[in-house]
Structure 1
Amino acid sequence: MAAATALLVSAPVLGGADNLQTTQTNIYGTPGGLIDMPTAEVAPEGQLSTTLSAYGAGNNLTTRTTLSFQILPRLSASFRYSGVGGLLPEPGRPTFDTLYDRSFDLSYRLINEGRVRPALTIGLRDLAGTGVYSGEYLVATKSIADRFRLSAGVGWGRLGTYGTFSSTGNRPAVTLGKGGIPSYDRWFRGDMAAFGGLSWQVTQKLSFAAEYSSDGYQREVRANALERKIPWNFGVGYKVSDSLRLNAYSLYGSEFGAGLTLSLNTRKTAVKGGLEGAPLPVAPRAPGSAADLGWTTDQTRQAQAIGSLKGLLDRDGIKLHGLQIEPRSAHIQIRNTRFDMRAQAVGRTARAMSRSLPASVETFTITQMIEGQPTTSVTMSRTDLERLENAPATQILAASRFQDGAVTDNGVTLMPDAYPRFDYSIGPYLRFSVFDPENPLRYSAGIKAKAEYHIAPGWIAAGSVSQKIIGNLGDITLPGPSGLPRVRSNVAFYNQSDEPTIDYLTLAKYGRPAKNFYSRLTVGYLERMYAGASAELLWKPVDSRFALGVEVNYVLPRAYDQQFGTRTRATPTGVIPEWNGHVSAYYDVGYGFHTQLDVGQYLAGDFGATLSVDRVFANGWSVGAYATKTDVSSATFGEGSFDKGIRIVIPFSWGTGSPSLQKSETVLKSLSRDGGARLEVDGRLYDKVKDTHRPQMAKTWGKFWR
């Protein structure tokens, strides 16, 4: 191993230092062009890939489903769900036909490739939990003549079980907690072994790989689930398209495997250029026209200007909510029903104002309305708008002023159609549950109807009704008693009804109690499992990346049929508390990272905190994770030790190329547990208002002129 590393470092190998990017994944679903062993290669930043791989057959079939994400240019993370067939249960463990296991990997590129120097990466495989695939490694990779990449490394854990040449001490075998806790006591401890391999990019589509593996597959060999004849693996890959790759493997001289990888880059749009119609150009004023104030006493001209403005906004899916027109200034309030890039809605509104308002109106103020309340007001001069139409968008951003809409709200007259108004939608729904050891995927699908009635400023009655058509979510087995009241673990009972169910039925009041403050009060059937009342207050200045909030909830458990009844708070394992709530801090760290810390009491009465970190891209994609730790012990919580999950938000506009406010959110988490459970009330304030504030709008300001 030492000799191989020295050779890689010292050899005067030619080849461009392209940071060794790759869109290939190995059989574990992590970036790299080898088979079972890791490399120092990385995926392009923002790359999200799903790999399905399998080897063996019958009772010895092993499958791995991996979601990998390149968080930063040097940092990648992978989440894997495996089904390992043919293993023997460990002492004290339940019997099984297939061992289903969750694992989480992290890798970090310590050194980028140079002209002579190889790239060097440190990695943790299956870094928490039961450690079925637990292993750590240091690996170096060097490109050779553009088409070849040579890798060599040293591994611990599983990666140190064949060809061991040294040791760094004893490696504990006892799992920390009930799984899910980082197994830091094992990292880089125990036997060490060397591994390596070579990948060859034959053509743009075809690649080959060969490797020497340091994974002894000891547990599989003992159970006769795999015969390890040789330490060599061989693979061939074929790139069908930028989003689909196929792989085939020969493993250890005894097995054949295959893999399929679906990938996309969250930083790039699926439809280049966008499909929305081009905006109308800014209408420059004729010289001297700004001196004409005759329109101020002419009701017909005023009505024509307002009608023209409303029509131009309707053309773009923007609703004129209210307005105030003075001889030299105009302030309008808008409801954006179309543009997920809020800067684009403001830009199109400013163009419409330039084409419809009298020439004497020099100052434009545009306020975005959210749930009947003003959020951010953007003020700009008409002269700047005319002058900078063909300049970079950053110039009109610098010339614009952002204010709290609560300050500029005085004097605005609401349009006749502002209230009351009714909105509704009907469409399919899909709910699913993963990681049930008895059935890794359960689902429920059907039809959902949603409606909102906007009664008056800030007052909204809303509801959603679902009808299940097919599904098996009601078959989830209840976990054993945990010492906590069943606040989420009885979710199966809420999925057994074949009758129409009320997802939520609420009356909400949104308000602006003071500058920089937002409020919400929601009462009714708050979510599928709870009714009651939820009150929230948020402090969020329009130009700040920081926000603070507080939420207090009074809850009643709903009847299992999810219609109009409630049930007793008493459960077989405890009494559900009446009150819960949190204090929350939000911070936009920069580089697309948003963090949130919630501290308080959860549904089961346990006290603790939830930390969330999301990487949010300018196109609306978001990939993140959260973890909750409360005063509930790992033993009481059950399998997984504490609540955690991965969430992915996909904007519809990314896939269709047309602006849309609709998004799809997927949360991958362990089975529903009672510890760390939080109310799922709709309409929380931070997510409602943050996209309209300056820090977030500035990231997409390039859309102002689109």
Structure 2
Amino acid sequence: MPNSLKATLRGSVAATLAGLTALAAPTATAEGIPSYNLYGLPGLIDMPTARVAPDATLSTTIGGGGTQGRGTLSFQITPRLSGSFRYSRISDFSAAGSVDGVFYDRSFDLRYQLLDEGDLLPGVVVGLQDFIGTGLYGGEYLVATKEIIPGLDVTGGVGWGRLGSRNPFAETGNRPEELLGEGGLPTYDRWFRGDVAGFAGMSYALTERLAFSAEYSSDTYESERTRGEHDDDSPWNFGVDYRFDNGAQLSLYHLYGNTIGAQVTVHTNPKDAAVPGGAESAPVPVSPRAPGAASDLGWVTADTSDYRSALNTAMTNDGLVLEGLKLEPRRAVVRLRNPRYGQVPQAIGRTARAMTRVLPASIESFVIVPVVNGMALSAVTLQRSDLEALEHRDNAEILARTAISDGFGRAPSAFDDEYPRFGWAISPYTEFSFFDPESPLRGDFGVRAKASYRPTANLVLSGSVTKRLAGNLTDIDRQDDDALPLVRTEKARYAKEGDPAIEQLTLAHYGRVAPNVYSRVTAGYLEDMYAGVSGEMLWKPVDSRLALGVELNYVKPRDFDQLFGLRSSETRTGTIPDFNGHVSAYYDFGNGFHGQLDVGSYLAGDLGATVTLDREFVNGWRVGAYATVTDTKFEDFGEGSFDKGIRITIPLGAVSAQPSTERSTFAIQSLTRDGGARLKVDGRLYEQVRDYHQPEMAKSWGKFWR
């Protein structure tokens, strides 16, 4: 097997495992991380504190006691603002939606630090608990924490909702108490309303590893007592936390006067994670020219094929591909394909170093044009004399002297022997379904075989076939009384009948139709459930944080066996429209925050918009969330009311210590519904283009000399 194909195979396998490895292995240190409570928030046991995790801390907690079991994912969005998603299991609980006496609940929290702790004043945090959900855990609080002596923290606060249910001392208006059957909607009519009660507690760190805590809880667990078997004999809870060197926390609790509880908390911090790579070989040094050599133009009339061969060898050693080369007396233009480096400036820097060692001394200007799927994405112009003078200086100096412009019309033609090109890979795959009350976690595991054939640089014929080895996605048996055509809720039937399955088989063309404009047309079996044609145009200036795009799709549903047939667009609840599409806007807000807005028509014909916000880090990590709201009524959408989710993207290099363009994205989203469902198409333009434009390259320019 060729080395390039071996690398593809290794990358495919590793990308599948990278995310789970990175999330499971705590990478934060204990310094600055507070204790986390049973709600997965900085707190004592059940009650919150005003402690705040370091910026960008990503924490996962799993714990519970008695009838309660909770798993929480929390993220410190900014130094003061944090958000949490919680999935809870309550046994012996009778309510709409419970299955065999077990009730599963999803909830979201927000916390904001109002005051930093000072010499005299405590730190103060305000929080919304379960502000989007059924309201089962709904409560708001204002809490203050102060370190009295080293290691001794004292906390006091006031709460509303379930945090205001024990011995309330005031009332602030009427508060609805019923559970919201579908959940998923902001409960703003309840915030800071109803009874108000106080809570308090303290914690003492006996050592750096061991801490004890006690609290007076203002939560009587009224919902659990009235709907189930919960016993609350005492407002006092006690706990002990053990902290490991990597920041992980193991906690044991005595709860409600009669129950033992336990919890494990692990942390990682994308902000502090190393930039991928570091274990790769060092780049070759810049080769300075001899004095006076720059005036020698004797090579111009000679055969230049040797220069191509030498440069190709030098770039291949760095895992880069020379696709084209144009030599002029004072300038050289390189057509670069980068299959290795997720940090694009590293690919640019290594190419430039190789050019200094191979090309004639008279060539002063280097123009490097990176291409993806045949599209010239930018033209990076460097002066050879700057490379010679600044090799051992700060990266910012070479960036200031680098020109990054549009690559439209700048790339040399690809060498005749570069195409056609064939590639293939075999890798494991996993697919999950979350939050079905009858089985909160389902999944399939199997093998995926992929292949691609590129007759030209811009034309890609690709496909993938899957074979399930184990799993239970076929066991989903939910037929919602949906007012929309069934565009996604028949997923279980596809999983059951499509084994093996042609997951995707398409012919795609990518192009540059004008300055700042990119195009894509994809036809064939676009995804596991739909076939058709998808067309896209993207406007993205090379130096702009803003991009605009439009996509139009013509689709037909595939046969359930996921082979070569199509089925009728008629479903028992309506007809799947032939056309769907969106107008999209993308914007880099700076400070690592990136937003996307998609407005248009979804698969079921519903009209609406999807808002996505990610926090992105220089090392390639991303943590974000999205929400889709359409003209589908919340009760017609079903459980959750509208589509929303959390996604975490992890670069393969974060766990392999080797440079890589591979990334794994893990999405935590509600059970698949028909409302707000969008076509899945590989190769959408924006993610291909943005990494090679000036705003993104400037963020990771520190890798230029690596």
TM-score calculated relative to the size of structure 2: 0.94
Aligned to 1:207: 211
**What aligned pairs does 1:487-526 form with structure 2 within 5 A after superposition?**
487-497=487-497, 499-526=499-526
Q: Distance in 1 between matches of 2:505 and 2:165?
A: 57
Higher relative contact order (CA 8 A, sep 6+): 2
- Maintained 8 Å contact 1:156/1:191: yes
SS at match of 2:272: coil
Aligned to 2:628: 628
Aligned to 1:158: 162
Aligned to 1:69: 75
Aligned to 2:8: none
Aligned to 2:49: 39
SS at match of 2:508: strand
SS at match of 2:391: coil
1:50 positional shift:
1.1
Aligned to 1:366: 368
Task: Flag the 1:696–1:173 CA change in 2: closer, same or farther, 3 A.
Answer: same
1:588-616, Cα deviation, whole Å (9 max, x unpaired): 01111110001100000000111000111
- The total of aligned residue pairs comes to 676
- Maintained 8 Å contact 2:98/2:104: no
Q: Distance in 2 between matches of 1:98 and 1:368?
A: 55
1:205 positional shift:
1.4
**Selected match of 1:218 from 222, 243, 253:** 222
Task: Flag the 1:253–1:336 CA change in 2: closer, same or farther, 3 A.
Answer: same
Q: Distance in 2 between matches of 1:173 and 1:278?
A: 63
- Maintained 8 Å contact 2:33/2:247: no
1:521-568, Cα deviation, whole Å (9 max, x unpaired): 000000011000000000000000000000000000011111111111
Q: Distance in 1 between matches of 2:32 and 2:679?
A: 42
Q: Distance in 2 between matches of 1:703 and 1:204?
A: 36
Task: Letter of the 1:85 partner, please give it.
Answer: S
Q: Distance in 1 between matches of 2:287 and 2:148?
A: 58
**Selected match of 1:380 from 379, 382, 387:** 382
1:590-645, Cα deviation, whole Å (9 max, x unpaired): 11111000110000000011100011111100111111111111111111111111
Task: Flag the 1:175–1:549 CA change in 2: closer, same or farther, 3 A.
Answer: farther
Q: Distance in 1 between matches of 2:165 and 2:233?
A: 15
Q: Distance in 2 between matches of 1:182 and 1:657?
A: 42
Please say which of residues 263-272 and 163-172 is displaced more in the overlay.
263-272
**5+ long unaligned stretches in structure 2:** 1-30
Q: Distance in 2 between matches of 1:533 and 1:498?
A: 22
SS at match of 1:655: helix
Percent identical across equivalent pairs? 53
1:223 positional shift:
4.5
Aligned to 1:51: 61
1:174 positional shift:
4.4
Aligned to 2:661: 661
Task: Letter of the 1:385 partner, please give it.
Answer: L
Task: Letter of the 2:324 partner, please give it.
Answer: G
SS at match of 2:559: coil
Q: Distance in 2 between matches of 1:385 and 1:95?
A: 67
Q: Distance in 1 between matches of 2:99 and 2:542?
A: 57
Aligned to 2:482: 482
Task: Letter of the 1:397 partner, please give it.
Answer: L
SS at match of 2:349: helix
SS at match of 1:695: helix
- Maintained 8 Å contact 2:131/2:186: yes
1:305 positional shift:
2.3
**What aligned pairs does 1:187-198 form with structure 2 within 5 A after superposition?**
187-198=191-202
1:416-466, Cα deviation, whole Å (9 max, x unpaired): 442111121111000001100000100000001111111113100011111
Q: Distance in 1 between matches of 2:95 and 2:413?
A: 72
Task: Letter of the 2:243 partner, please give it.
Answer: K
Hey, which bits of structure 1, 4+ residues long, moved more than 4 A? 174-177, 270-273
1:256-284, Cα deviation, whole Å (9 max, x unpaired): 10001121111122689721111111111
Task: Letter of the 2:149 partner, please give it.
Answer: A
**What aligned pairs does 1:394-473 form with structure 2 within 5 A after superposition?**
394-409=396-411, 412-473=412-473
**Selected match of 1:104 from 95, 108, 130:** 108
SS at match of 1:423: strand
Q: Distance in 2 between matches of 1:518 and 1:632?
A: 33
Q: Distance in 2 between matches of 1:225 and 1:354?
A: 76
Aligned to 2:574: 574
Aligned to 2:148: 144
- Maintained 8 Å contact 1:231/1:252: yes
Aligned to 2:284: 280
SS at match of 1:414: coil
Aligned to 2:698: 698
Q: Distance in 1 between matches of 2:351 and 2:442?
A: 46
1:309-368, Cα deviation, whole Å (9 max, x unpaired): 111111111100111111110010111011000111111111111111111110001111
Q: Distance in 2 between matches of 1:164 and 1:206?
A: 34
Aligned to 1:392: 394
Please say which of residues 177-186 and 252-261 is displaced more in the overlay.
177-186
- Maintained 8 Å contact 2:498/2:560: no
Q: Distance in 2 between matches of 1:272 and 1:572?
A: 49
- Maintained 8 Å contact 1:271/1:655: no
- Maintained 8 Å contact 2:275/2:618: no
SS at match of 1:496: helix
Task: Letter of the 1:71 partner, please give it.
Answer: I
Task: Letter of the 2:119 partner, please give it.
Answer: R
Matched, 1:640 2:662: no
Task: Flag the 1:698–1:239 CA change in 2: closer, same or farther, 3 A.
Answer: same
Aligned to 2:320: 318
Aligned to 2:41: 30
Task: Letter of the 2:83 partner, please give it.
Answer: A
1:368-415, Cα deviation, whole Å (9 max, x unpaired): 101111001110100011111111111111100011111423xx2422
Task: Letter of the 1:316 partner, please give it.
Answer: D
Task: Letter of the 2:644 partner, please give it.
Answer: K
1:175 positional shift:
5.3
Task: Flag the 1:629–1:175 CA change in 2: closer, same or farther, 3 A.
Answer: farther
Task: Letter of the 2:36 partner, please give it.
Answer: T
Aligned to 2:95: 89
SS at match of 2:308: helix
Task: Letter of the 1:276 partner, please give it.
Answer: E
SS at match of 1:263: strand
**What aligned pairs does 1:11-30 form with structure 2 within 5 A after superposition?**
21-30=32-41
SS at match of 1:128: strand
1:571-595, Cα deviation, whole Å (9 max, x unpaired): 0111000000000001001111110
**What aligned pairs does 1:542-621 form with structure 2 within 5 A after superposition?**
542-621=542-621
TM-score calculated relative to the size of structure 1: 0.94
Task: Letter of the 2:415 partner, please give it.
Answer: M
Q: Distance in 2 between matches of 1:96 and 1:151?
A: 39
1:267-302, Cα deviation, whole Å (9 max, x unpaired): 122689721111111111111111111111221xx3
**Selected match of 1:354 from 353, 356, 362:** 356
Aligned to 2:306: 304
SS at match of 2:612: strand
Task: Flag the 1:339–1:273 CA change in 2: closer, same or farther, 3 A.
Answer: closer
Task: Letter of the 1:43 partner, please give it.
Answer: A
Aligned to 1:233: 237
- Maintained 8 Å contact 1:269/1:655: no
Q: Distance in 2 between matches of 1:387 and 1:85?
A: 69
Q: Distance in 2 between matches of 1:316 and 1:421?
A: 20
- Maintained 8 Å contact 2:330/2:365: yes
Aligned to 2:13: none
Task: Letter of the 1:222 partner, please give it.
Answer: T
Task: Letter of the 2:45 partner, please give it.
Answer: I
Task: Flag the 1:377–1:115 CA change in 2: closer, same or farther, 3 A.
Answer: same
